């Protein structure tokens, strides 16, 4: 079996465990007034698990393959697959998770989006920075004001 199918099989196991948790164990401790809400805290994890299961099954069954593809991923030639960029993105995700609380949502998310797009090859700073700022502000507004979930916008030093 090709490397992409092995990865899909591992991700299928993770999505199944995540889906089991979302469908059967997350809603047991809900307060009675929350049970009448149309959207529960487990709604997004349920959707994510279903999308993940469908995506991994598509890869496992080979439905995403087209006639133009050259072949499966060759694990003996991993150095040719931009592994450094993938590891940089993973390190950036970890740094984002660690900086989210002390640095604040607005600064850390904007920096994550700008640096992530830079790693992926975008070099137009006059496009990257405004789009990252706008996306960050929209997400912060939706989470903070619409959903009512507090996100520390700025670091404590700046009044966050």
pLDDT digits (tens, 9 = 90+) for 106-123: 999 999 999 999 998 888
Residues 135-141 have a mean pLDDT of 91
Q: Which of 26, 53, 77 represents a domain boundary (last residue)?
A: 77
* 66 and 92 both lie in a single domain: no
pLDDT of residue 143: 85
Indicate the pLDDT class of residue 159, thresholds 50, 70 and 90: low
pLDDT of residue 86: 86
* 6 and 73 both lie in a single domain: yes
Q: Is the pTM higher than 0.75?
A: no
Q: Does pLDDT of 77 surpass 60?
A: yes
Q: Does pLDDT of 68 surpass 60?
A: no
* 66 and 4 both lie in a single domain: yes
Q: Which of 42, 77, 112 represents a domain boundary (last residue)?
A: 77
Structure token digits, residue 122: 């975008």
Query: For the chain, what is the domain count?
Result: 2
Contact present, 92 and 120 (Cβ < 8 Å): no
Domain that residue 6 falls in: 1-77
Q: Does pLDDT of 157 surpass 80?
A: no
**How many other CB atoms are found less than 10 A from the CB of residue 81?**
13
CA distance 157 to 103: 9
Residues 80-103 have a mean pLDDT of 88
Structure-model confidence comparison of residues 30 and 109, the more confident one: 109
* 99 and 68 both lie in a single domain: no
């Amino acid at each position: 079996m090709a490397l992409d199918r092995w990865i899909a099989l591992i991700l299928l196991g993770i999505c199944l465990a995540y889906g089991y948790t979302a469908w059967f164990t997350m809603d047991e401790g809900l307060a009675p007034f929350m049970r009448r809400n149309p959207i529960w805290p487990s709604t997004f994890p349920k959707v994510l698990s279903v999308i993940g299961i469908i995506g991994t099954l598509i890869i496992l069954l080979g439905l995403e393959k087209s006639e133009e593809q050259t072949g499966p991923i060759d694990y003996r030639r991993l150095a040719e697959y931009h592994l450094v960029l993938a590891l940089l993105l993973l390190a950036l995700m970890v740094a984002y998770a660690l900086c989210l609380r002390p640095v604040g949502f607005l600064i850390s998310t904007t920096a994550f989006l700008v640096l992530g797009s830079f790693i992926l090859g975008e070099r137009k700073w006059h496009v990257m920075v405004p789009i990252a700022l706008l996306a960050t502000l929209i997400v912060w507004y939706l989470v903070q004001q619409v959903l009512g979930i507090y996100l520390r916008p700025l670091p404590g030093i700046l009044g966050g």
